[in-house]
């Protein structure tokens, strides 16, 4: 698999990442092992998890499987901190205490002494400088190699990056995670331009529109799909509306013309969009992952990518920047 640098940093990752949101809950150990084996055999290196995924179960499962399937040094382990569970509810806590506590717990669950990439999972109520001081301590102590943010909007990303660059002793932020797909293009307005300005990489989550762009919901909600589960229905439902259906049909038509699957068309559009480093794939089985990995030698014709831009919200200004007269 092709490898890409994360922004202007020295960190290099595969251009597709493996997400572990469902591990330990919807994805059991056997399925997770199959996913990891398939991903690594294809040349994938970036594996993304978080302290909040399955209340730590995703990290525990990943920690058991990494040394069994591959070598720790052969993968890029990325995790996130800042979501915590209190009295049965998940809340955002980006205080220094909570972030460093999450980090130490993540390292224990993953069975490693360091993370290759550690990300503040969301913008919180704690002062930004306090949250970022935890990032600095994590890197200085050797527990983290590179740092980034997740789910920050454009001005939040720029503020965090500017704060860190104001003092050479602070850790430069190298990446951001944000939802980005043909059904969620808001990142193009501020986040992607901010990342470009600060030399940061982008890891899109839900590049398949929370599964809707695969076409599986065209005639209803299939049994066993995420939308059919009590804990994920809320996540998918926002994209099961008329505007999304129009985008899905355009993806299906493009797939038919290119002899690809809708999943592959939607993924290629994101993978090769300007500013993207590596989309994160949330497949639950190796069978679901295989079509995505089969895109390695494929690209969308420019006219198809532009047509999908048009139908999903308009031209991508980063793909076709305006010319100066």
Task: Identify the band that residue 197 occupies on the pLDDT scale cut at 50, 70 and 90.
Answer: very high
Tell me the pLDDT of the chain averaged across its residues.
Answer: 94
> Is 60 exceeded by the pLDDT of residue 256?
yes
**What proportion of the chain, given as a percentage, has pLDDT over 90?**
84
pTM of the model: 0.94
Task: Identify the band that residue 322 occupies on the pLDDT scale cut at 50, 70 and 90.
Answer: low
Answer for the pair 226, 283: CB distance below 8 angstroms, yes or no: no
Q: Would you call 227 exposed, middle or buried from its count of C-beta atoms within 10 A (0-12, 13-18, 19+)?
A: buried
Q: Which 8-state DSSP code applies to residue 94?
A: -
> Is 80 exceeded by the pLDDT of residue 206?
yes
The backbone torsions φ and ψ at residue 311, rounded to the nearest 5 degrees and listed phi first, read -75, -20
> Is 70 exceeded by the pLDDT of residue 171?
yes
Q: Which residues contact 50 (CB under 8 A, 6 or more apart)?
A: 21, 58, 59, 79, 80, 81, 83, 121
Answer for the pair 49, 79: CB distance below 8 angstroms, yes or no: yes
The mean per-residue pLDDT over the stretch 58-81 comes to 97
The mean per-residue pLDDT over the stretch 317-325 comes to 70
CATH architecture of the region 3-211+273-299: Alpha-Beta Barrel (3.20)
pLDDT of residue 320: 73
**What's the pLDDT tens digit per position in 19-66?**
999 999 889 999 999 999 999 999 999 999 999 999 999 999 999 999
- What's the farthest any 2 CA atoms get from each other in the chain? 59
Residue 153 to residue 239: CA distance in whole angstroms: 20
Residue 138 to residue 197: CA distance in whole angstroms: 25
Hey, what are 44's tokens?
């994938």
E strand residue ranges, the chain: 3-5, 12-14, 17-19, 46-48, 76-81, 83-86, 89-92, 115-120, 144-150, 173-179, 201-205, 280-281
List active site positions. Answer: 53
> Is 60 exceeded by the pLDDT of residue 325?
no
pLDDT of residue 176: 98
pLDDT of residue 90: 79
Is 256 strand, coil or helix?
helix
């Amino acid at each position: 698999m092709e490898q890409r640098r994360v922004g202007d940093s020295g960190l290099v990752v595969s251009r597709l990442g493996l997400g572990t949101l469902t591990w330990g809950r919807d994805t059991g150990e056997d399925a997770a092992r199959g996913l990891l084996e398939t991903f690594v055999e294809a040349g994938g290196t970036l594996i993304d998890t978080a302290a909040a995924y399955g209340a730590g179960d995703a990290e525990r499962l990943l920690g058991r499987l990494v040394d069994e399937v591959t070598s720790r040094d052969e993968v890029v382990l990325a995790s996130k901190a800042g979501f915590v569970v209190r009295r049965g509810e998940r809340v955002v806590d980006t205080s220094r205490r909570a972030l460093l506590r999450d980090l130490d717990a993540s390292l224990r669950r993953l069975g490693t002494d360091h993370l290759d990439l550690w990300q503040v999972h969301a913008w919180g109520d704690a002062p930004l400088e306090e949250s970022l001081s935890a990032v600095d301590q994590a890197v200085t102590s050797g527990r983290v190699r590179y740092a980034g943010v997740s789910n920050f909007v454009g001005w939040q990303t720029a503020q965090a990056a500017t704060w860190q660059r104001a003092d050479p002793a602070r850790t430069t932020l190298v990446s951001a995670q944000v939802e980005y797909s043909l059904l969620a293009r808001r990142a193009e307005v501020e986040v992607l331009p901010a990342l470009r300005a600060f030399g940061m990489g982008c890891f899109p989550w839900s590049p398949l529109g929370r599964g809707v762009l695969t076409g599986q919901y065209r005639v209803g909600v299939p049994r066993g799909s995420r939308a059919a589960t009590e804990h994920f229905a809320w996540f998918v439902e926002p994209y099961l509306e008329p505007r999304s259906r129009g985008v899905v049909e355009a993806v299906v038509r493009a797939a038919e013309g290119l002899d690809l699957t809708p999943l592959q068309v939607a993924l290629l559009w994101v993978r090769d969009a300007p500013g993207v480093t590596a989309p994160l794939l949330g497949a639950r089985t190796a069978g679901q992952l295989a079509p995505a990995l089969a895109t390695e030698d494929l690209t969308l014709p420019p006219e198809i990518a532009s047509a999908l831009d048009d139908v999903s919200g308009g031209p991508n200004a980063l793909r076709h920047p305006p010319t100066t007269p």
